Amino acid sequence: MALGEFEYLLISAAATLGENAYGVAMSEAIAKATGRTCSIGALYTTLDRLEAKGLVKTWMGGGTPQRGDRSKKMVRVTPAGTVAARSFYDTMIRISNRAPWAVQ
Amino acid sequence: MRNIAWKLIEVMALRLTPTEREIVLGDLIETRETALRGMREISGLVVRRQLQLWNGWRAWLAAPGLALPCSFLLMGFSFAISSELRTHFAYGLQLNLSWAQPAEAVSLLCQAVVLIICAWAAGFTVESISRRTFVVSAICCFLPCLFCLLRFRQESLPRLCLLLFLFPAIAGVCFSRRGGTINRRRAFALVLAATICMAVLAVRGHLWVLNWELIVPAWYLAILPVRPDRMAHLRNEGIVS
């Protein structure tokens, strides 16, 4: 299944964070990697789309005092999500391997 | 100041589902966002969610498909009924002609039945098929009202007579909001009554062909599959507790 760039970023962030993947942590990971802030609107609407495609699974996690005991949206990448992300990654590597910035 | 800003954020978040509201407000607390940025984040998500609703057919059917035309057509019925009532009760009583012509009384009765059933069904249907775009549907209903109220030139009738249909329509909306359902037998009885009355009006030449659209919401109610998960869905959406 074809992924967009932001979808790939979300899946990669969730996969990297593992058990600790939830909204704020993923948003911070993406901001750190890309240098761009990730809005809540973009994050949650894209997560919904990924879940509808069966690429991630989400559920409500428990709250913590730092967030006023409000629940989190936990995220886990499904096997289909892993396949889609790998396919995106391989495509990027293949298309880039002779590009000047990759050859340097 | 921060408390006021936070209250504003919470008010804006009311447009989200309870689950999403809980998550997003938690995120804002955790990231210690400034009030301005918090409002921007929430409004961004609300706008995205609202736009998503317009990707499906439901919002389009409810607002421009039903609310707008039904509002125009039902105003016509409201006006016709008001005129007839005025004729019967004002002039009829003076001239001792009240209900002297049974045919007219039957027409008036049929118009009243159509108005009540169709307006109620339209309110119920518009609210239930696209609950989260209801504000836009309401605007689509009120714009024709405003247009007609401003152009109303009948001195013998009050302008507000055009809005008679709003009473049953609002009752239908409230019924749907409370999670009400109507069993199929009653829905069929209602739709049959409305259809017969419309047919009578059509035979007597009192019905414009486009008025048949008014029967669509009533038939929708009759053939609507009864969803046992409706209450669970409404609870999840935060509509009923």
DSSP 8-state class, residue B29: H
Q: Best residue in B6, B29, B34 to probe A by mutation, most A CBs within 10 Å? A: B29
Q: What's the pLDDT at B122?
A: 92
Q: A71 — contact with chain B (CB < 8 Å)?
A: yes
- Considering only alpha carbons, which residue of chain B is nearest residue A71? B23
> What are the pLDDT digits (tens) for B46-61?
999 888 888 888 899 9
Q: Where are the beta strands (DSSP E) in chain B?
A: none
A8: its two tokens: 């790939």
Closest-CA distance of chain B to residue A93, Å: 32
Contacts of B106 (CB under 8 A, 6+ apart): B200
Residue A45 CB: number of other CB atoms within 10 A?
Answer: 17
Q: A70 — contact with chain B (CB < 8 Å)?
A: yes
Q: Best residue in A26, A32, A38, A40 to probe B by mutation, most B CBs within 10 Å? A: A40
> What are the pLDDT digits (tens) for B95-146?
555 555 677 778 888 889 999 999 999 999 999 888 888 889 999 999 999 9
Question: Which of the two residues, B34 and B1, has the higher pLDDT score?
Answer: B34
B118: its two tokens: 């169709």
Which positions in chain B touch A68 (Cβ < 8 Å)? 25-26, 29
> What are the pLDDT digits (tens) for B39-48?
888 999 999 9
Residue B219 CB: number of other CB atoms within 10 A?
Answer: 16
CB spacing of B26 vs A44 below 8 angstroms:
no
| Of B18, B87, B10, B15, nearest in space to B234 by CA | B18
Burial of B65 (0-12, 13-18, 19+ CB in 10 A): buried
Closest-CA distance of chain A to residue B23, Å: 5
Which positions in chain A touch B28 (Cβ < 8 Å)? 40
B47: its two tokens: 């706008």
> Is the torsion defined by CA of B22, B27, B30, B31 positive or negative?
negative
Q: A67 — contact with chain B (CB < 8 Å)?
A: yes
B84: its two tokens: 């007839």
Per-residue pLDDT for B93 more than 60?
A: no
Q: A81 — contact with chain B (CB < 8 Å)?
A: no
Angle, vertex CA B82, rays to CA B77 and CA B85, nearest 5: 125
Q: A45 — contact with chain B (CB < 8 Å)?
A: yes
CB spacing of A39 vs B41 below 8 angstroms:
yes
Write the CA distances from B192 to A88, B114, B117, integer angstroms.
Answer: 57, 11, 10
A39 and B44 in contact (C-beta within 8 Å)?
yes
> What are the pLDDT digits (tens) for B185-238?
888 888 899 999 989 888 888 788 888 888 888 888 888 755 555 555 555 555
Which positions in chain B touch A45 (Cβ < 8 Å)? 45, 48-49, 52
DSSP 8-state class, residue B238: T
Assign residue B99 a region: left if phi > 0, alpha if psi is -120 to 50, beta otherwise? left
Write the CA distances from B113 to A57, B77, B124, B203, integer angstroms.
Answer: 51, 10, 16, 16
Nearest to B30 among A39, A60, A67 (CB): A67
CA A41 to chain centre: 14
Query: Cα separation of A71 and A63, whole Å?
Result: 4
Which positions in chain A touch B17 (Cβ < 8 Å)? none
Per-residue pLDDT for B241 more than 50?
A: no
A3: its two tokens: 């992924």
